[in-house]
């Protein structure tokens, strides 16, 4: 096992322990992934980077399992280690995807509980659509921007891999 693989293996232990304690489960990261899979799509869309985190976490778990069971050569990079460290930090700071979902749920519940909330619900009347104007929606541009960033990150990882693995 080289130094990068050892770093990933050690970092994975910390993340797995946190997840086991969070869910009082035998398998920490696997349970976290299962919780992500059980999260409704409507909540997933509200968390920036959800798909990337889900895919990376599954990839890291696969790499760790390959290292643990020594089934041959495993491509483990510093990018993997750095991502796992970042995820570890987000778990500790409660800025990981599932923590954000819980915060969103609590915020929605708090909004429903407050009877005298100062928030007003906007209403749309037919006059709002005069001159073919429609209310602005930013969800689609934000989703496109997130997709572009994810695609750029994937491209960078691919280019890094190609540069470090000559044919």
Tens-digit pLDDT profile for residues 39-90: 999 999 999 999 999 999 999 999 999 888 876 777 889 999 999 999 999 9
Percent of the chain whose predicted confidence (pLDDT) is above 70: 79
Which pLDDT value is given to residue 25? Answer: 93
Q: Which of 61, 142, 147, 52 is nearest to 97 (CA)?
A: 52
Mean pLDDT of the residues in the chain: 82
**Residue 138: which H helix or E strand, with range?**
none
The larger pLDDT score, comparing residue 51 to residue 120, is at 51
Per-residue confidence (pLDDT) for residue 134, from 0 to 100: 44
More confident residue, 114 or 50: 50
pLDDT greater at residue 75 or residue 132: 75
Joined together, the tokens standing for residue 158 give 């691919």
The pLDDT assigned to 131 comes to 46
User: What does pTM read for this prediction?
Assistant: 0.64
Q: Do 111 and 117 meet the contact criterion of CB atoms below 8 Å apart?
A: yes
- State the pLDDT at residue 128: 45
Lookup result for tokens 């409507």: 42
| Separation in Å, CA 20 to CA 24, 30, 55, 67, 139 | 5, 9, 20, 20, 34
């Amino acid at each position: 096992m080289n130094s990068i693989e050892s770093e990933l293996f050690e970092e994975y232990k910390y993340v797995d322990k946190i997840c086991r304690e969070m869910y009082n489960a035998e398998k920490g990261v696997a349970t976290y992934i299962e919780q992500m899979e059980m999260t409704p799509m409507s909540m997933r869309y509200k968390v920036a980077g959800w798909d990337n985190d889900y895919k990376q976490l599954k990839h890291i778990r696969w790499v760790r399992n390959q290292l643990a069971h020594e089934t041959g050569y495993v491509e483990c990079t510093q990018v993997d280690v750095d991502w796992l460290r970042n995820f570890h930090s987000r778990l500790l700071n409660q800025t990981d995807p599932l923590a954000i979902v819980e915060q969103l749920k609590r915020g929605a519940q708090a909004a429903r509980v407050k009877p005298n909330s100062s928030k007003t619900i906007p209403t749309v009347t037919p006059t709002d659509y005069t001159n073919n104007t429609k209310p602005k929606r930013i969800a689609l541009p934000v989703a496109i921007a997130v997709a572009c960033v994810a695609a750029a990150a994937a491209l960078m990882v691919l280019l890094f891999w190609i540069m470090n693995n000559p044919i």
